[in-house]
Amino acid sequence: MLRRISSALIAAALFMTLTAGVALAHPVGQEGESDCFGVRISHGSANFHANDGHGWTPVERAAMLEETVAFFYAISPPEFQEFLEDFFGEDLQVSVKDMTAFVRAVCANEVPFPEE
């Protein structure tokens, strides 16, 4: 039961935190849609809510993703940990290139988020 709840929380938190360009409050762009990547990248960098999780530079967003990845790596099931290692490297360091590749992968439904 605890594992099921943990997996659900991981999936929900990763979705909200990572897929919306680290926008924290509201996901934008729909997975599978052709404009998903562009919408998420431009929304996360837009400066209209600089104090509300927006307006961050790509370097700042990559650093936040790196912290988030490290946190979720620690609480994820082994198969998702393996995915994170394969995607970001064993050191889990996230570059701007990695961050944009991750957003693109999420938009293409290529990230195996833990299921409930």
Give the pLDDT confidence of 99-112 residue by residue, as tens digits: 999 989 988 888 88
Confidence check: pLDDT of 18 > 90: no
Confidence check: pLDDT of 52 > 60: no
**In percent, how much of the chain has pLDDT > 70?**
66
Please choose, from the candidates 23, 47, 42, 21, the residue with its C-alpha nearest in 3D space to the C-alpha of residue 107.
21
Are 21 and 41 in contact, with CB atoms under 8 Å apart? yes
Cα angle: 48, vertex 50, 53; to 5 degrees:
110
Mean pLDDT of 26-53: 69
- The span from the CA of 92 to the CA of 108, in Å, is 21
